[in-house]
């Protein structure tokens, strides 16, 4: 990786120049000495629809954007560029009276031109266009290609590699890929797909469900197009001996050389974890990723819930099948007493534990009952979920599952802490 993207609250930088800005400037100086470019992502505009809205054709909105960028550049002089996420998802983006006669592309181009004109001459812009809705997918793909033709020389266009939030690994491919493959022209403006190589919201390396298959698909789609790199999501820069590092390392290497992600993963394993079996690692990652994707689809469905007259039986069968597969996967992670247990098997144990709790939460949302989802061991500590029940022989009726924003570290000397330290120290 040759660039780092830092999110910041512009107001904090302006109000706390003496301490925070000094620390940020020291960080920027250190990164530049390493040859790393630094892009800063300002906080989004306040979604106060009653005050100004979010349409870049409206003067008040344009003024707020210019002022925000001026404050940011004054607080952090010398940054290499700005990463800006389009205001497209805001309801007023296209419904504002100022956009009444405008096409979607007209508003996107106005936003892009405003940003380009607000930067210093030597600064670059990464203009990120989030996925809106499936209904507008094809239109958005056309707009992205046209933006590439009209963007300035120091601008690159970022987009989620999948059709949804970049962290949602169960989504289908972004329709822009089909448009790029069918286009006879190759734009000079670089495209940057946003990929979740750091498994954000999917264990962040503490689960073995790494998005290697999705990464392979992205880089395969990128061949023969104007893709110039990738925006890689990660919660933090990990230590060198855990699965978080494995995924980020393989993705970073793939950006520079045409090797398969699976082969790169094997290389990482031999270099950083020679105590692990490359074959077993590949098998565990493939199975865990498949299970995690299936569970993510289930959680997405649970957000909307069952229709009033919908038969829940097919969904209950689907969940029972997933629980059965998770139980079988958990047994694969067990080793005999005569074998030395590595943390690779523990990744499986804690992944299954967290996943079954997520299923319990789905059942609660759908108001479905099912026996034998959670047992005594499933109530023990895990990374990303907690329960309000004590370990025992069975699940306590009405027990609630909570998702954690930060992972559980475990106590010193525990298997949970060993995995945490491999990834987060």
Please indicate, yes or no, whether residues 371 and 331 belong to a single structural domain of this protein.
yes
Per-residue pLDDT at 56: 93
Structure tokens at 1: 């990786």
**What is the residue-averaged pLDDT of the chain?**
87
Q: How far apart are CA 47 and CA 77, in angstroms?
A: 27
Domain match, 294 and 341 both: yes
Q: Residue 392: what pLDDT?
A: 46
Structural domain span for residue 324: 278-424
- Residues 197, 322, single domain; the answer is no
Residue 265 and residue 285 share a domain: no
Q: How far apart are CA 186 and CA 149, in angstroms?
A: 9
The closest of 190, 186, 133 to 158, measured between CA atoms, is 190
Among 228, 244, 272, where does a domain finish?
A: 272
- For the residues of 405-422, what is the DSSP string, one character each? SS-----TTSHHHHHHHH
Find the range with the poorest average confidence among 43-52, 83-92, 110-119, 140-149.
43-52
Residues 314 and 351 in one domain: yes
> Which pTM was predicted?
0.90
Structure confidence at residue 387 (pLDDT)? 83
One domain, residues 34 and 163 = yes
Neighbours of 88 (CB within 10 A): 21
- Cα separation, 402 vs 296, in Å, equals 16
Q: Helix 278-304 and helix 313-332: axis angle, to 10°?
A: 160
User: In this structure, are residues 264 and 227 in contact, taking their beta carbons and an 8 Å threshold?
Assistant: no
- Range with the poorest average pLDDT among 80-84, 115-119, 291-295, 332-336: 332-336
Same domain for 191 and 292, yes or no, is: no
Q: 68 with 113, same domain?
A: yes
Q: Are 377 and 331 members of one domain? A: yes
- Total domains present in the chain: 2
Q: Are residues 238 and 146 in the same domain?
A: yes
Distance CA 329, CA 326 (A): 5
Give the whole-angstrom CA distance, residue 134 versus residue 174.
Answer: 10
Which is higher by pLDDT, 29 or 372? 29
- Is there a single domain that holds both residue 122 and residue 95? yes
Indicate if 162 and 266 belong to the same structural domain: yes
- Please report the DSSP string for 220-237 in residue order: HHHTTS-B---EE--SSP
Q: Which of 257, 272, 287 is the last residue of a domain?
A: 272
With a cut of 90, say whether residue 391 has pLDDT above it: no
Provide φ and ψ at 231, rounded to 5°.
-95, 120
* Domain end among 272, 304, 328: 272
Residues 140, 141, 145, 146: is their CA dihedral positive or negative?
A: negative
Sheet holding 231-232, edge to edge: 3-8, 37-42, 81-85, 124-128, 155-160, 191-195, 231-232
Residues in contact with 116: Cβ distance below 8 Å, sequence separation at least 6, in sequence order: 125, 151, 152, 154, 155
CATH number (domain holding residue 124)? 3.20.20.80
Contact status, residue 266 vs residue 189, Cβ threshold 8 Å: no
Quick check: helix, strand or coil at residue 385? strand
């Amino acid at each position: 990786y040759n660039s780092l993207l830092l999110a910041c609250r512009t107001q904090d930088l302006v109000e706390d120049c003496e301490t925070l800005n000094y620390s940020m400037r020291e960080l920027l100086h250190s990164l530049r000495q390493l040859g790393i470019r630094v892009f800063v992502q300002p906080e989004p505009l306040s979604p106060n629809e009653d005050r100004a809205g979010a349409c870049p054709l409206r003067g008040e909105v344009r003024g707020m954007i210019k002022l925000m960028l001026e404050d940011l550049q004054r607080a952090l002089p010398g940054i290499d560029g700005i990463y800006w996420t389009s205001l497209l998802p805001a309801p007023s983006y296209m419904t504002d009276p100022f956009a009444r006669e405008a096409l979607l592309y007209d508003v996107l181009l106005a936003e892009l031109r405003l940003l380009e004109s607000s930067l210093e001459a030597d600064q670059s812009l990464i203009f990120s266009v989030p996925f809106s809705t499936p209904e507008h997918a094809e239109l958005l793909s056309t707009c992205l290609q046209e933006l590439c033709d009209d963007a300035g020389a120091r601008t690159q266009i970022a987009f989620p590699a999948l059709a949804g939030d970049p962290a949602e690994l169960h989504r289908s491919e972004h329709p822009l890929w089909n448009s790029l493959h069918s286009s006879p022209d190759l734009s000079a403006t670089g495209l940057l797909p946003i990929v979740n190589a750091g498994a954000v919201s999917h264990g962040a390396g503490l689960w073995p469900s790494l998005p290697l298959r999705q990464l392979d698909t992205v880089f395969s789609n990128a061949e023969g197009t104007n893709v110039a790199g990738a925006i890689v999501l990660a919660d933090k820069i990990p230590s060198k001996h855990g699965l978080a590092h494995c995924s980020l390392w393989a993705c970073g290497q793939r950006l520079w050389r045409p090797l398969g992600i699976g082969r790169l993963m094997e290389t990482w394993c031999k270099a950083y974890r020679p105590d692990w079996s490359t074959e077993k690692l590949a098998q565990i990652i493939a199975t865990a990723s498949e299970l995690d994707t299936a569970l993510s689809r289930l959680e997405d469905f649970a957000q909307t819930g069952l229709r009033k007259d919908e038969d829940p039986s097919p969904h209950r069968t689907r969940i029972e099948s997933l629980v059965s597969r998770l139980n079988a996967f958990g047994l694969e992670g067990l080793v005999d007493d005569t074998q030395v247990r590595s943390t690779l098997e523990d990744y499986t144990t804690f992944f299954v534990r967290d996943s079954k709790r997520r299923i319990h939460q789905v059942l609660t949302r759908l108001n479905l009952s099912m026996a034998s989802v959670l047992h005594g061991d499933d109530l023990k500590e895990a990374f990303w979920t907690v329960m309000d029940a004590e370990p025992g022989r069975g699940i306590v009726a009405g027990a609630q599952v909570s998702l954690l924003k930060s992972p559980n570290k475990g106590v010193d000397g525990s298997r949970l802490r060993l995995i945490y330290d491999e990834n987060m120290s």
